[in-house]
Chain A
Amino acid sequence: MTREDNTKNEKTQSDKKTNILSGLIKKKENSADVFKDGSVSVKNANLWYGDFQALKDVSLEIPDRKVTAFIGPSGCGKSTLLKCLNRMNDLIEGCRIEGRFEVGGTDIYKSADVNLLRKNVGMVFQKPNLFPMSIYDNICYGPRTHGIRKKSELDEIVERSLKEAAMWDEAKNRLSKSALGMSGGQQQRLCIARALAVRPKVLLLDEPTSALDPISTGKIEELTSELKKELTVIIVTHNMQQATRIADKTAFFLLGELIEYSDTEELFINPEDPRTERYITGKFG
């Protein structure tokens, strides 16, 4: 197993960097046997940026093919935890991570290479971050780095991804046009299509609608409900109604701690912790 070979010594930052590069060079990976599904398990996660502790003993089990929302005030560590799940914190200078992070039963800091991990755990950010290329090339970017070259195969991936992102009708006649010419809401859905192109098992969405108008927001919310038939969605949102509309489970964070994690309905109707109640009812501060 080559995977084991290049993940043996991962103690230092520089080792991790080499590891990412070696991952990029690899042509084909069979992820099926590494991540058995899109479930996510976090056990006793602690994370420091230098002296500052951004995550404090966080443990939670996120079920496969459900939508899970992370809520909490700014700076409570939601994005930090999200980024741990596809190892985006690895390259941050001075960032130290403890604990166990699993995707589909596999320890992602020990036994999976970063490139393979990111193929399985896609991420979409608050602001669309498309490449200055055509719509077609944006979507093919991921599959191409994973070695897919055949035109017919790429065509198929583009069509499927755009359809899954509910974008096909809007995009099919302008595939060769620049992706940056689309509206903000379209660009965000294109980012989702791009993430879907490599068929991830988990999709991380970090405040994906906070810059969008209500109609584009509605489309993305609808999309998440469709997507969960195929994969696990974890969404950071500041919009409580959004969490109640789309999330099966909700986790509330405060100052780096996971305060409460339960079924969304339970959390919003009958929260256990008074801090959750104060936050969601707007009684804080």
Chain B
Amino acid sequence: MSTRNRYEQELKAISDELIAMQRAVERAIDRAIEAFVTKDKTLAAGTAENDVEINRMERDIEQHCLKVLLMEHPVAGDFREITAALKMITDLERIGDQARDICEIVLQSGDGEYVKKPEHIPRMAKIVSGMVKDSVYSYVNRDLAVATSLDKHDDIVDNIFVEIKDEIVNIIRANKDNAEQAVYFLMIAKYLERIADHAVNIGEWVEYAITGSHH
């Protein structure tokens, strides 16, 4: 097999592994939010535990990338593709950590009913997990437009965060007994906001892989 073909096969394999990692991370976010909304502590515990799986995926992909760098000596666009993958998995792994953090909040929170049915947070989570998906697929499809559009989605997420924060301030003002619950809401919203930032980072690495410029 020619070096070129071998490289392309390896790159395809790495792309598949990235998609698998993205799916695992997406599932972790969805389950964390579901566990939060339904106050399902078993689901929260299971999802948090599953983070080790995401960590393992990061290490495997990292090993794979290092092997390709060592064996195939990629240069130019090929080199940037592999370095981008190496950086992206760090962000994906951090996203996994944040999903686990959300689960841990669910585990710490009391059993009583929510003062108000969570609406904004599930909406925010949907956008955020879509961003993560877009970021990884923009790598796989070499889609610069999608990669750079993540910034705009991030602005939407930031706005929702501000809305949530304002609402939480009002809840606390209305009744101080709800303060603890309100703080948990705020922390979860903050984790989601951080996940969106990681998706933007991934988009920037995709931009680097495609164009060679990174900011």
Contact = CB atoms under 8 A, between A and B. Distances in A.
Nearest to A278: B76
Interface in A39-96: none
A270 B73 contact: no
Given A269-B212, A270-B212, A276 B76 contact: yes
Contacts of A173: none
B4 interface: yes
A268 B4 contact: no
5 contacts: A268-B75, A277-B77, A281-B7, A281-B74, A281-B77
A129 B76 CA distance: 36
Contact of A282 (B4, B79, B212): B4
Nearest to B6: A282
B38 interface: no
A244 B75 CA distance: 10
Contacts of B77: 277, 281
A240 B4 contact: no
Contacts of B7: 281-282
Contacts of B4: 281-283
Nearest to A241: B73
B34 interface: no
A271 interface: yes
B76 A280 contact: yes
A283 to B, nearest CB: 6
B2 interface: yes
Nearest to A243: B75
Interface of B: 2-4, 7, 73-80, 212
Contacts of B79: 268-269
Given A241-B73, A269-B212, A281 B80 contact: no
A282 B76 contact: no
Nearest to A268: B75
B4 to A, nearest CB: 5
Nearest to A271: B76
Interface residues of A, number: 13
A283 B77 CA distance: 11
Contacts of B212: 269-270
B122 to A, nearest CB: 42
Contacts of A240: 73, 75
A269 B76 contact: yes
Contacts of A282: 2-4, 7
A271 B2 CA distance: 22
A270 B76 contact: yes
A270 B208 CA distance: 10
Contacts of B80: 269-270
Nearest to B74: A281
Interface string A237-279: 0001100100000000000000000000000111100001100
B24 to A, nearest CB: 31
Nearest to B79: A269
Given A270-B212, A280-B76, 4 more contacts: A269-B79, A269-B80, A270-B76, A277-B76
A281 B73 contact: no
A241, A271, A282 pick with most chain B CB within 10 angstroms: A282
Contacts of A280: 75-76
Contacts of A269: 75-76, 79-80, 212
Contacts of A271: 76
A185 to B, nearest CB: 23
B4, B76, B77, B212 pick with most chain A CB within 10 angstroms: B76
Contacts of A268: 75-76, 79
B206 to A, nearest CB: 15
A271 B211 CA distance: 10
A270 B7 CA distance: 18
Contacts of B78: 281
A268 B77 CA distance: 9
B215 to A, nearest CB: 14
Nearest first, the 8 closest Cβ-Cβ pairs linking A and B are: A270-B212, A268-B75, A277-B76, A282-B4, A280-B75, A271-B76, A281-B78, A281-B76
B211 to A, nearest CB: 9
